[in-house]
Structure 1
């Protein structure tokens, strides 16, 4: 290597060092580069996810199992919201406090044994104040016992694909084997906020219970200080450190920032707000106008109709980097040689969106109506009608 080349490399290194431009080796992952560009994230693990698509925008140690502390209560609230929508539980239902619920340590609203409180108020205490006694009272009301309800929590986690999560209680208090991951917490957070009503609780900054005698202040300071924040849940124990699942919506895009294992409460809020800032600055939701999409007729062989009507997805949206919209193209592909019978809702093609030459997203096209196979009675009737017309 000549002195001139060596001097050039040295000069380049000095220039990059002075002006803060990273010199990257091959194989450095994109999320690591992004993390360097937005500054330090003081958390052992984290995930930044776009809620509607589940697309992960940034992550670090996202599948490392850690104690989740009170962000466990996201699953309690999810199961409650599902039962409320099913109509098996109602907000005005009154719940009686058991000795077990009364015995919970940590943060609580000091429920007395035998005291009754509505589901509405218990949910508020759980979402806003992270009250352990309120969460257990709800768990017992839904499952009969906390242990039985925890089985339901684990079953729902399995259904959602939370493969690295095992719950041992409904509160998040440290317990052997009570573990989750940043990715799994993001998954259940995304599922919870599909229920819009939960945001009426998780976004409360201050409120009260018992006719104003018990004050509530949200443990998630971002709902007051971060633009667009509408939840979701904090968690703090000796084993877990400080954790947070923060949700925020701006310009039609909802992001979920999950941080676990921060040393202090201040650090978890810094971690989450830094991730959210990066996401809102760098990404946007693109929703193409499907009504403008040209779909060719789809012929059907050997059917009682020669073509099938099509049904497009009701909503199509995708997360893209800001500035990429001009580089998106689409292509429609249909099934060639489609044979009757065709069932209503059967996939008959797809729309493919490309960002430059890379596939960005695919959405199926469905048959809007059923097409039966040609048979003798149908052919005979058609011939008869033609003859007498």
Structure 2
């Protein structure tokens, strides 16, 4: 009886603490996966640009098409970002198997990779966009509009409420959950093995059990994050939109884990992950995890 009472008091304290904690992201939604219960919300219905969170939708539509994942895709000049002029470590002229292009688009959020997936979709970019529209409707994402596959266009907009639906759908694709929770990977680019890293600094960090992850950034969207986590016995999905800096986005995730999910372990809120530098949808460096070498 005393244990139950203590647990109830602890939960009440955690909920009160969560309300007291100022979250830097402009829109926040945390949902318990097993029950659908909303654990925390802040402007969850506010329509905002979603930047590279878009790439989860791109990946689902590409996988739904059941294309040959071993088919080589050549990166073309038309795949280069002319909206934000973001950098890329995937050179024009590189020929890469579709499965590795998907890896680059999701894990390291490469914009050329995402653009090439839409360009090589059956029927081309117009057919890809139509498929995205159908997928949005099928998932009941009534407040979402996606105009292109990378998220660079600020017309790609949604709400935290809709993005939780997208996260739940994406988590049902084993390829997406595997790729987005890879800390880093080595991919053959023009005969040279190149190391690429996950844009989420918490993936691979000690104490974090992450089941799905995707970051996003443009000037209009700010720093964004979708993440499925397991903490303190709870499975939860968090959506963070329009944080002012990467450090703010990470701090919000740490506070959600501690105060909303009730995980008071010493590693739950130790922000000792390596620092990251990222451009719009760009890559970053991590040194504390080993690469998984891909054999061909």
> What TM-score, normalized by structure 1, do the two folds share?
0.58
* Long gaps (5+) in structure 2: 1-13, 264-296
Q: 1:217 aligns with which of 182, 197, 219?
A: 197
**Aligned equivalents of 1:82, 1:51: Cα separation in 2:** 24
CA separation in 1, counterparts of 2:49 and 2:33?
23
Query: Does structure 2 conserve the Cα–Cα contact (< 8 Å) formed by 1:43 and 1:271?
Result: yes
Report the CA distance between 1:33 and its aligned residue. 5.4
Q: CA deviation at 1:228?
A: 0.3
What SS does the aligned partner of 2:249 have?
helix
**Deviation, structure 1 residue 184:** 1.2
**Following the alignment from structure 2 to structure 1, what is the Cα–Cα distance between the partners of residues 16 and 127?**
44
Q: How does 1:369-388 map to 2 (within 5 A)?
A: none
Identify which of 111, 114, 118 aligns with 1:135.
114
Kindly state the Cα deviation for residue 181 of structure 1 after the two structures are TM-superposed. Answer: 1.0
Higher relative contact order (CA 8 A, sep 6+): 2
Instruction: Say whether the 8 Å CA contact 1:103–1:133 is kept in structure 2.
Output: yes
Is 2:178 the partner of 1:197?
no
**RMSD value over aligned CA atoms?**
2.4
**TM-score of the two chains, using structure 2 as the length reference:** 0.75
2:28 matched to which residue of 1? 46
* Residue 56 (structure 1) aligned with residue 35 (structure 2): no
3-state DSSP class of the match of 2:157?
coil
Distance 1:147 1:253, change over 3 A: farther
Which string of whole-angstrom CA distances, capped at 9 and with x for unpartnered residues, describes residues 272-293 of structure 1?
A: 23223334328xxxxxxxxxxx
Find out whether 1:82 has 2:61 as its counterpart.
Answer: no
In structure 2, the CA distance between the partners of 1:52 and 1:146, relative to structure 1 (3 Å rule), is farther
Matched, 1:166 2:149: no
By how many angstroms is 1:99 displaced? 3.0
| Post-superposition offset of 1:127 | 1.5
Q: Render the CA deviation track for 1:51-86: whole Å, top value 9, x for unaligned.
A: 355432211111101110111111011223333xxx
**Unpaired stretches in structure 1, ≥5 consecutive residues:** 1-30, 283-389
**What residue number does 1:70 align with?**
52
In 2, Cα distance between the equivalents of 1:82 and 1:143? 11
Q: Which residue of 2 aligns with 1:318?
A: none
**Aligned length in residues:** 245
Residue 228 of structure 1 pairs with residue 209 of structure 2: yes
Distance 1:124 1:107, change over 3 A: farther
8 Å CA contact 2:121–2:127 kept in 1: the answer is: no
8 Å contact kept, 1:47–1:257: yes
Task: Give the distance between the partners of 1:143 and 1:65, measured in 2 at CA.
Answer: 31
Tell which structure's C-alpha radius of gyration is larger: 1
